[in-house]
Amino acid sequence: MVETITDADIGSGVEVLHRLATVVLNEHANDHGLCVVCGCAFPCERAVLAEHNPALTRS
Ligand SMILES: [Zn+2]
């Protein structure tokens, strides 16, 4: 099956990424230098990755 990617598909994909990144950033919060979810030094890997997504999708 051939999938045709439309502008709307790309737009919603970016929107999903942006929303996911926002959720991750909200959950992985800095608690005195530690991530409240991961328990490792903040910013944790997931927070860093999420931070890059809105940066990429911002225009
Ligand atoms: Zn984390």
Using the mean position of ligand 1's atoms as its centre, give its distance from the Cα of residue 9 in Å. Answer: 29
Indicate whether this model's pTM tops 0.85.
no
Cross-strand bridge partners of residue 31: 34
Q: Show the domain range for 33.
A: 24-59
**DSSP H helix total and E strand total for the chain:** 2, 2
Tokens of 24: 């991750």
Using the mean position of ligand 1's atoms as its centre, give its distance from the Cα of residue 8 in Å. Answer: 31
Position 18 in a domain: no
Convert the pLDDT of each residue in 9-59 to its tens digit: 888 888 888 888 999 999 999 999 999 999 999 999 999 999 887 666 555
Geometric angle at alpha carbon 20, from 5 and 33, rounded to 5°? 145
What local confidence, expressed as pLDDT, does residue 42 receive?
95
Using the mean position of ligand 1's atoms as its centre, give its distance from the Cα of residue 52 in Å. Answer: 14
**Total domain count, the chain:** 1
Q: Could you tell me if 29 and 40 are in contact, meaning their C-beta atoms sit under 8 angstroms apart? A: no
Using the mean position of ligand 1's atoms as its centre, give its distance from the Cα of residue 20 in Å. Answer: 14
Position 41 in a domain: yes
What local confidence, expressed as pLDDT, does residue 8 receive?
83
What's the whole-number mean pLDDT along residues 3-9?
A: 85
Residues 1, 51: Cα–Cα separation, whole Å: 35
> Left if phi > 0, otherwise alpha if psi is -120 to 50, otherwise beta: which for 16?
alpha
Using the mean position of ligand 1's atoms as its centre, give its distance from the Cα of residue 3 in Å. Answer: 35
Position 8 in a domain: no
Position 49 in a domain: yes
